[in-house]
Chains A and B, each alone.
Chain A
Amino acid sequence: MAKVPVQFTLNGSEKAEFVESGTTLLAALRDKIGDTSPKGGCHQGTCGACSVIIDGELRLSCLTLAETCGGADIKTTAGLAEGGVLHPLQRAFLDAFATQCGFCTPGMIMAAKVLLDRTPNPSREDVVEALSGNICRCTGYEPIIQAVLLAARANSQNAA
């Protein structure tokens, strides 16, 4: 099957791969590059576990073709911590007990990051709306919402 070259930035480092035409970004990240932080829960764009950030936008990597990501700046949860220091969202998810089985967590954190990048002081409604595309089947939504609000408060205290 025909292979296509694709080159993009993943969490700040350059990546280049040959992928079969039609390969999803999720498969390219997990199977080719080895970043398994995006998870495949439904492969049909409904669960949000595969969420990544492409050029600042929240994207479902299971519905994004790798070959369309040439030159893109891609961020995943695996790249959030800098120098071993957890990102405020990661810290907040720990402190607010916002993880159970953990399978939805990387996608939740991606969705929350895009929200806080744009809306540093979100309302509860903003958080609920931002996470509405991410399913947690352990049904731990309330601690997740609280974690995002906690991260927002921590950010604004640091900024002050």
Chain B
Amino acid sequence: MELRKDYFADVRKDGLHEIGQARPRLDSPGHVTGKTAYFADRNFPGMLHLKMVRSPHHHARIRSIDTSEAERHPGVVKVLTAKDVPHNVYTILILIQVGPEDETVLADGKVRWKGEAVVAVLAESERAAQEAAAKVKVDYEVLPAVFDMEEALKPGAPLVNEYHGQNYYLYDSGECRKVRFGDVEAGFAGADHILEQSYQSSPIEHAPTETTGCVVAPEGNDRFTCYTNTQAMFFTLDNTSIILQMPGSKLHFVGGTVGGGFGGKVDVIVEPIAILGAKLTGRPVCFIYSREEEMQISSPRAAEKVVIKDGVMKDGRIVARKVTGYTDAGAYSRHSPYGAQKGAAHYPGPYTIPNVWIDTYCVYTNRTPSSAMRGFGVTIGDFALEVQMDKLARLIGMDPLEFRFINAYRDGDMKAHRQPTEGAALIECMQEASRAADWPVAEKYMAMSSYRKGA
């Protein structure tokens, strides 16, 4: 690989030697010998298997739950319902004051998405747990469901989540996260061209090869060791502490190598109920998602809709941008209010635009709750923005790369959410891309700089 050191030569410290060198990965020897310990490689004598009874409906009231037949099934040790969970209603981001608590560990009175956990069965074997789970009788009254974000936002739409009271997350700024910068309508009025386009994405499942799960071992002193493949150790520890109303000192979390996560293992889903099972039975417990659960139950990347309206001048300057973003949280918040908020800051892209108006909504529907995945909140936005940039360049008959040079942010530029730009390198990156891809641009763009004034 060729290293180009001419960029930032005057600010570069050159005493570093690692980049460009091949260094062995520290975890590889364990991987190639099969010695790396994943959570499920822990096995304890007398370990119980936990299986969930899940909602077959997208939205339903629970009239009654009858676990008597399941409890009599051979091998069943314990059956848990909502009343067994000390603090059953939680939300992950309450740790950073993003409430309200809006999700149940085990459904209580209502289910809001198809696949929601209702009853947990603990048995001597996976098979016994599965068979007993099939014997739990839940009487449902099916309710109208809503799956489309714009339908969910209309008056009269079925209310998905009573803890919110409306089908969107209420930010301190109101029904959406808002960015207001300059005068967007004046910008449109003075623009040579206006282009409004709508972009949509579907939920995406991470599908890690190792499914979500944990193994819990009681230590005999009311303290529990939880081997987990969570990607968010302290979120999980602290939320478990809240849900089980146990001090963190009673919870010993052991992480380690995760068999693929990609953001899909940041929710607090398996640990609290498995630890509760271990506490109530005094036995080790494993709760490991089946492949079907991993694909259908674990949080996907949110479906998003992004509507972008841009005003552009014939000389290539974008003078106004208005974006309305919708993030489909599914039935519960998890990390989506944060994801939608990230979008609000991100939608101007790495471009300096003088007039910006952004609204981003975190919307509740009766779909599988979505959560983190690789750059959630901005990845779909970037797709939309860069397709939009190509369309704008075509509209004014300009080379799409030169068009980006004209609008690229540079150090000192004020971004729409009022963070001054620092450490920008977009121009240098595009200059290198221009050479590497043999996509020549005019010399004046090759002479531009992200940080030298006037260049």
Residues of A participating in the B interface, judged by any CB pair closer than 8 Å: 30-31, 34-44, 46-47, 49, 76-78, 80-81, 86, 89-90, 93-94, 97, 99, 101-106, 109, 135-138
Distance of A102 Cα from B262 Cα, bound (Å): 14
B260 at interface, CB cutoff 8 A: yes
Closest-by-CB residue of A relative to B43 is A31
Least Cβ–Cβ distance between A23 and chain B, in angstroms:
10
> Given the known A-B contacts A80-B33, A81-B33, are A41 and B210 also in contact in the complex, defined by CB atoms under 8 Å?
yes
Q: Contact at A99–B33, with CB atoms within 8 Å? A: no
Q: Contact at A137–B260, with CB atoms within 8 Å? A: yes
Q: Contact at B28–A99, with CB atoms within 8 Å? A: yes
Partner of B260, one of A31, A77, A101, A109: A101
Distance of A77 Cα from B25 Cα, bound (Å): 19
Q: Contact at B260–A90, with CB atoms within 8 Å? A: no
Q: Contact at A103–B291, with CB atoms within 8 Å? A: no
Counting from the closest, the 7 A-B pairs by CB-CB distance are: A37-B34, A102-B31, A103-B259, A36-B41, A90-B32, A42-B291, A99-B31
Chain A residues with CB under 8 A of B452: none
Chain B residues with CB under 8 A of A35: 34
Least Cβ–Cβ distance between B49 and chain A, in angstroms:
11
Q: Contact at B291–A39, with CB atoms within 8 Å? A: no
Closest-by-CB residue of A relative to B23 is A97
B181 at interface, CB cutoff 8 A: no
The CB with the most chain B CB atoms within 10 A, among A31, A86, A106, A137, is that of A137
Q: Contact at B209–A97, with CB atoms within 8 Å? A: no
Least Cβ–Cβ distance between A47 and chain B, in angstroms:
6
Least Cβ–Cβ distance between B211 and chain A, in angstroms:
7
Residues of B participating in the A interface, judged by any CB pair closer than 8 Å: 22, 24-25, 27-38, 40-41, 43, 206-211, 257-262, 290-291
Q: Contact at B27–A102, with CB atoms within 8 Å? A: yes
Distance of A39 Cα from B31 Cα, bound (Å): 11
Closest-by-CB residue of B relative to A147 is B32
Chain A residues with CB under 8 A of B38: 36, 39, 103
Least Cβ–Cβ distance between B427 and chain A, in angstroms:
30
Closest-by-CB residue of B relative to A102 is B31
Q: Contact at A78–B35, with CB atoms within 8 Å? A: yes
Q: List 5 A-B contacts (CB under 8 A).
A: A93-B28, A101-B259, A103-B208, A103-B259, A105-B34
Chain B residues with CB under 8 A of A46: 291
Distance of A104 Cα from B36 Cα, bound (Å): 12
Distance of A44 Cα from B293 Cα, bound (Å): 13
> Given the known A-B contacts A40-B40, A78-B34, are A137 and B207 also in contact in the complex, defined by CB atoms under 8 Å?
yes
Least Cβ–Cβ distance between B229 and chain A, in angstroms:
10
Partner of B257, one of A34, A90, A101, A135: A101
Distance of A29 Cα from B45 Cα, bound (Å): 15
Distance of A10 Cα from B333 Cα, bound (Å): 48
Closest-by-CB residue of B relative to A90 is B32
Q: Contact at A43–B33, with CB atoms within 8 Å? A: no
Chain A residues with CB under 8 A of B208: 101, 103, 137
> Given the known A-B contacts A90-B32, A94-B29, are A39 and B290 also in contact in the complex, defined by CB atoms under 8 Å?
no
Least Cβ–Cβ distance between A126 and chain B, in angstroms:
21
Q: Contact at A101–B258, with CB atoms within 8 Å? A: yes
Distance of A110 Cα from B259 Cα, bound (Å): 18
Distance of A44 Cα from B294 Cα, bound (Å): 13
Q: Contact at A49–B209, with CB atoms within 8 Å? A: yes
Chain B residues with CB under 8 A of A97: 22, 25, 28
Q: Contact at A90–B259, with CB atoms within 8 Å? A: no
Q: Contact at B32–A99, with CB atoms within 8 Å? A: yes
Distance of A104 Cα from B262 Cα, bound (Å): 15
Distance of A99 Cα from B209 Cα, bound (Å): 13
Distance of A151 Cα from B174 Cα, bound (Å): 60
Distance of A40 Cα from B38 Cα, bound (Å): 11
